[in-house]
Structure formats: structure tokens, C-alpha cells
Amino acid sequence: MDPINALEAIYDFFDQFLKGTPLACKKGCSICCTTNVSMTTLEAQHIIASGLLNDDLISRIKEAASRPHFVPSTTINTSAAMCLSENEMPEESSPITFDPCPLLTSQGLCPIYEARPFSCRAMSSETLCTQGGEAYMAPFLVTVNLALYQILEHIDQAGWYGNMLDVLTLVLDDEHEDRGKTAVAMKGKVKTNRPLPCFIVPPDEVMRFKSFMRRLSKKQIGGSGKTVGHLLPDDWKILT
């Protein structure tokens, strides 16, 4: 089974799930489109396979990657494992910058929108950010987003996690046999993905979350005969 097909099945399921959410986001909204996007190598491979990255966009990505930008201290599943073992979470030491995403057009449009990573898909708001100054997301949507971040990391256990700029640079150079050189440059910037240790769900959302997971688990993956549920541990846990 092609992992990219699994990724696309999860994206499609999430798109359908969002149709029941009254979002204020519309074409041209780009306030949240910054360099603070994190993703897995599988998502980078999906973007590259889409054919939407041209030489100009690749140059913009690598130039932005050479400037100071946010670097996550851990992966999502590493953080969940720390919570499960009651270990203290490390503080983010990397500064969060709010530079615009280098892929944006002058009209605030995303040229890779159809293949955008989950971090971009998950960022939504029920109110206009331009009016209130910040996004509003329903609590259960926050829970769902976190769970899907974890699942995407789980299905890409052989890959890495980090800022979009770094992960795309790593995968792009890997295709040109520069992986060794780039991996050295990326030391400390990208983290090894981890398997799913547990889902973190507020107590009052557990029943609703289990219903969500039952539906997601039944989602077919292309014509493989497999479902998303086949990719998950049989005994996945919930930490409340």
C-alpha cells in the first residue's frame, strides 16, 4: 500500500469532517500562512509528487530555510509519550517567527493548496481573524487536529518531523542524492517520527472522539482494500 494514498485518504476524510464546521476562512485569507508550519517527510513527498513545486518555489523554500525560523523541540507523538509517562515537557527554545510563508503569491494565494500539509489544513477559524485579531476553533476540532497530527506521524515512522522549510529541503535534496550533506546541515532541526503512544482527549470529549475514530478507521485507502484502521495500533489508548 502506497503511504501517499493513506495520507490522501486521511486528508479527504478531514475535508468531509470540516464540512459540518461553520468556517469563516475564504480564498485569499493568509494571516495564518507563516513559516511556523511543521510536517512529516511523508507530507513533503506528497507535495513533491503533486508536481506543484516549480524551480522558483523551491528556491524560495531553501532561501527561507537559511533564515532564522521556528524549529519544534519534539514530535507530536514524543510529546504524547511524555504525557503518558508523566515526564515534564521540554520548553520550546526556538523563537516563533511570523514571516509570511515563502510560497504565498502577492494575492495571498497558495500555489500548492491542493497538496498543502495537514498543519495548513488544520488551521481554521469560525471568526474572521482580521476582525478579532485571532482565530477561534471549537474545542473538539482542536482535539481532532491533534489526533490526526499523531496518526500522520505514526504512519510515517521511518521519516522525520520538523518545520516545513527544513523537511522539504531535506526531501528535495534527498531526491538529488544530496541527503548526506543536507542531513548534517539539518542536525537538530528535524526529529525522528515516533509511533502512536496514546491520544490525548479531554474527559468530556471521550465518547465523541471514539465515534470519530470509528468513522475514520472505516475510511477506505484508494483501491488497496485497506482502511485507515489497518494503520493504527489495535490497542490504541486515550489519555484524559
pLDDT digits over 95-154, tens only?
777 899 999 999 989 999 999 999 999 998 778 776 656 788 899 999 999 999 999 999
Cα dihedral across residues 188, 83, 234, 119: positive or negative: negative
Mean pLDDT value of segment 39-54: 97
Ramachandran angles phi, psi of 118, nearest 5°: -65, -35
Half-sphere exposure of 118 (CA within 13 A, CB side): 27
**Does 240 reside within a domain?**
no
Residue 63 has pLDDT above 70, yes or no: yes
Strands, E assignment, 8-158: 38-40
Q: What cell numbers appear for 69 in the block?
A: 525560523
Q: What is the pLDDT of residue 131?
A: 62
**Does 164 reside within a domain?**
yes
Of 1-15, 45-59, 118-132, 173-187, the poorest mean pLDDT is in 173-187
Q: What is the pLDDT of residue 203?
A: 97
Q: Smallest Cα–Cα separation from 53: which of 2, 3, 117?
A: 117
Residue 156 has pLDDT above 80, yes or no: yes
Residue 27 has pLDDT above 90, yes or no: no
Q: What is the pLDDT of residue 74?
A: 93
Q: What is the pLDDT of residues 174-222, one digit of tens each?
A: 655 555 555 555 667 899 999 999 999 999 999 999 999 999 999 999 8
Q: What cell numbers appear for 23 in the block?
A: 468556517
**Does 189 reside within a domain?**
yes
CB environment 178-211: b (16+ within 10 A), e (fewer): eeeebeebbeebbbebbebbbbbbeeebeeebee
**Does 239 reside within a domain?**
no
Strands, E assignment, 56-129: none
- Counting the structural domains of the chain, the total is 1
**Does 66 reside within a domain?**
yes
Q: What is the pLDDT of residue 132?
A: 59
**Does 183 reside within a domain?**
yes
Residue 163's domain comprises 3-232
Q: What is the pLDDT of residue 133?
A: 64
Mean pLDDT value of segment 15-30: 84
Residues near 120 by beta carbon (within 8 Å), at least 6 away in sequence: 33, 37, 110
**Does 60 reside within a domain?**
yes
Question: How far is Cα 84 from Cα 239, in angstroms, rounded to an integer?
Answer: 7
Question: How far is Cα 125 from Cα 43, in angstroms, rounded to an integer?
Answer: 23
**Does 12 reside within a domain?**
yes
